Each structure stands twice: as structure tokens, then as C-alpha cells.
Amino acid sequence: MRKLPVLLILVGLGLIGWVGYDYTTSGEEIARFELAGEAGSTDLISLEPSLNSMRALLSVTYEIELLAGSATAFDYSIMMTGPGSLTVFTAEGQQRDKRDDNTPEYATKTSEQVIKTFAVPAPGEYLLDWRIVPDKARITSRSISLRRNVEPLRIPYLIAGVACFGLGVLLLIRKRRKSI
């Protein structure tokens, strides 16, 4: 019984990690665009509905000085358009980094984010317009990749992982309170 909370926490973390890894790596990469500058457009890419479901991922490597509190490393805005200027998706967001103490720390980090899971509505040539603006960071590289035939987020496994982790933490806290 003493090992049950630790086992539940490890199972929960394992399930959560597996679901996240599977979500970002499922399917097959069909295109990767290395991006230069703060804004631009990618080359045209030929897509068709047989590639559905698709997922776009953003990878940014940057250097940042972390101070106490939260700092915005960069902001991004990405839009995919298709035949006839059809907007397939738009995505906006920002990468924030946090440090709890006051000691400055210079760090090199890589942010890999799922931008959007989407469906190709019709065969044709598609284009990604992007804007990635550094705030407190110096961006060293950035890329967008497209993956085809991806799996959806496995929500039942994610819920099971969160439940195992939460139950393990609760049992651990309860056990510690009883021993005091």
C-alpha cells in the first residue's frame, strides 16, 4: 500500500507523456519549411483530401534572459490559404517563459507547438503566411512542418493519466498527514 501513490503518479505521468508524444508525432511529415526573417510566405505545396487529417507544427529555437516573473519570448501568427484564397486555418499565440527567483539565467530553448489540426478541403496548391516576432528573446531558428494522416488526441488516455496522477498525489498527501 505504501508504493501505490508513487506507482499511480508514475502511471499518470507515463500516460500523459505518451499521449502528448503520440499527438505531436503521429502521421508522416510531408513538408518542412525553414523560415527566415520575422515574416513571410512559404513555397506552394500541393495537398489533397486523402492526406486528412493534417497537423501543422511550429518549432522555434531561441535565446532568452530569464528574470523573475514571466517574459514573452515571441509572438506568432500563421495562416494557411488554399485555392481561390480559401482560408484553411489561422493561428495566433505567444511563447512565455517563467523564472521564480531573481537570479538572471541565460537559456537556449526550443519551443515545439502544435499550431492546428486541420482538414484539406480540396486538392490544390496551398500557402502558409507567417509572422514570428521576437519580444524578449533572440530567435536563432524557426520552422513549420506539416504532417499527414495524424491521429486525434487520445482523450480517454489523457483523462486516465490525469486521474491516476491526481489520485496518487492525493494519497501521498493523505499518507503524509496521517504520519504527522
Integer Cα distance of 102 and 100 in angstroms: 7
**Stretch 138-153: mean pLDDT:** 93
Residue 143 bridge partners (DSSP): 34, 59
Q: Is 8 exposed, middle or buried (0-12, 13-18, 19+ CB in 10 A)?
A: buried
Instruction: With beta carbons less than 8 A apart as the criterion, state whether 53 and 118 touch.
Output: yes
132: nearest Cα among 111, 160, 101? 111
pTM surpassing 0.85? no
Integer Cα distance of 13 and 7 in angstroms: 10
pLDDT by residue (tens digit) across 38-82?
A: 999 999 999 999 999 999 999 999 998 887 677 889 999 999 999
Question: Three cell numbers at 97?
Answer: 517563459
pLDDT by residue (tens digit) across 3-27?
A: 888 888 898 899 888 888 887 888 9
Question: Three cell numbers at 87?
Answer: 482560408
